[in-house]
Amino acid sequence: MIQKTPPMGWNTWNTFGHEINEELIRTTADTMVSSGLLEAGYNYLVIDDCWALKQRDPQTGRLVADPEKFPSGMKAVADYVHSKGLKFGMYSCCGTLTCAGYPSSFDYEFVDAETFASWGVDFLKYDHCYKPDTVPSDLLYRKMGMALANCGRDILFSACSWGVNQTHEWIKSTGAHMWRSTGDITDCWQKIKEIYDLNVPLQPYNGQGCFNDMDMMVVGMHGQGLVGVTGCTDEEYRTHFSIWAMLNSPLMIGCDIRKMDAATKEILMNKDVIAINQDAAGRQPFRASTYGCDTWVKFLEGGDIAILIVNPYEDACRGTLHLTDIGLDVASGRALKARDLWTGNDLGIIKDELLFPSIDAHSCKFLRCSIVER
């Protein structure tokens, strides 16, 4: 199984934490279809921590879904999710317990991989809590990678190692398809910026096969739920989504999609921004300028160019890109024809310099450009 584009979907943790049950999963699956999220590309529905009983089955040693939360059993839940055209994800951990204190997969990797496969699981988020100090992280993730590769079912391996122990240097050897590059997100601009800053130097390690996971998004949470703090403005959520899309992060929704307002839907289902994230070439962007705002450029399949000018700072700043910085000098005989991905406005032909004199704090400009003759 080779992951060619960043995974997209929804995860229970950011909003619901331990307050999960079968009804939530079924109604969320319904909403992923009825709201248009599935059509937009969000096809994984993932149950995070707190789904299991506190003890394994004493006879088989297998994990057991909590019958009060999931009375129909996990196979029936997976079947319902699949019936909606979605893929089904679950959670475990490489340590001796999960982060919330439930049984983990330490020393049970092959048994648990077989259990997940028998339930119809398509995605496994694999956390890093309670890891024994005597066992290296890379060994534990390789062990689960082997188990998943031999369980008889294609299961996307989401390694949630928080970027510790130089994860970027060894994660691709584990078979993981995506890897958490930082600690947990919270619903405030300061944390979004922190995650952005930490991911800038990690871009050379990102791309097809194994994508840098900047964590589940907080778009539309507005300070509610488990990781709600101050919340963000819609403009900040728009910038958050733009950064995740441009930097090829998986796009995993964390809000309660059953209660999305119009602005949240407009952000999460912007097909033009999603297309940049899901571009078939899978190339990483490069930072072309840090004069004023940060300017990122990505070469897309078919020859188009994506440009994200982002202001993560606390004051308005100038956004600029000299075409010579990406190789389009006068001698090339070429210019850019630009379109704004958030407004849909045609910005015309740019021959020498792309300039936005002032971009507000925590805002951005996201463009798709084609190369044309001058």
Say if residues 51 and 91 touch (Cβ distance below 8 Å). Answer: yes
Whether residue 98 sits in one domain with residue 51:
yes
Say if residues 183 and 162 touch (Cβ distance below 8 Å). Answer: yes
Say if residues 231 and 222 touch (Cβ distance below 8 Å). Answer: yes
Across 183-210, average pLDDT: 96
Confidence bin at 61 (pLDDT 50/70/90): very high
pLDDT of the residue at 291: 78
pTM: 0.97
**What's the distance, Cα to Cα, between the start and end of the chain in Å?**
44
Q: Which 8-state DSSP code applies to residue 280?
A: T
Give per-residue pLDDT as tens, 290-327: 778 999 999 999 999 999 999 999 999 999 999 999 99
In a domain, 220, yes or no: yes
Whether residue 184 sits in one domain with residue 55:
yes
Q: Which residues are catalytic?
A: 127, 184
Whether residue 149 sits in one domain with residue 40:
yes
Last residue of a domain, one of 251, 277, 303: 277
Helix (H) or strand (E) holding 37: helix 37-40
Whether residue 291 sits in one domain with residue 217:
no
Domain count, the chain: 2
Confidence bin at 143 (pLDDT 50/70/90): very high
- The domain containing residue 107 runs over which residues? 8-277
Whether residue 149 sits in one domain with residue 41:
yes
Whether residue 71 sits in one domain with residue 114:
yes
Whether residue 315 sits in one domain with residue 247:
no
Across 14-29, average pLDDT: 98
Percent of the chain with pLDDT over 90: 97
Across 209-224, average pLDDT: 97
Last residue of a domain, one of 232, 258, 277: 277
Whether residue 212 sits in one domain with residue 331:
no
Confidence bin at 103 (pLDDT 50/70/90): very high
Q: Which 8-state DSSP code applies to residue 66?
A: -
Whether residue 125 sits in one domain with residue 263:
yes
Across 357-369, average pLDDT: 97
Confidence bin at 267 (pLDDT 50/70/90): very high
Order of strands across the sheet that contains 251-253: 211-213, 178-180, 156-159, 123-127, 87-93, 44-46, 8-11, 251-253
The CA distance from 98 to 96, in Å, is 7
Across 323-337, average pLDDT: 93
Question: What CATH number does residue 34 fall under?
Answer: 3.20.20.70
In a domain, 1, yes or no: no
pLDDT of the residue at 1: 85
What 158-163 contacts at long range (C-beta under 8 Å, 24+ apart), as own/partner pairs, is: 158/7, 158/89, 158/123, 158/124, 158/125, 158/126, 158/213, 158/250, 159/126, 160/125, 160/126, 160/127, 160/128, 160/213, 161/94, 161/128, 161/137, 162/128, 163/198, 163/202
In the block, residue with structure tokens 């995070």: 48
pLDDT of the residue at 339: 98
Last residue of a domain, one of 224, 258, 277: 277
Whether residue 203 sits in one domain with residue 328:
no
In a domain, 354, yes or no: yes
pLDDT averaged over the chain? 97
pLDDT of the residue at 53: 98
Whether residue 255 sits in one domain with residue 311:
no
Pairing state between β 251-253 and 178-180: unpaired
Question: What CATH number does residue 300 fall under?
Answer: 2.60.40.1180
In a domain, 3, yes or no: no
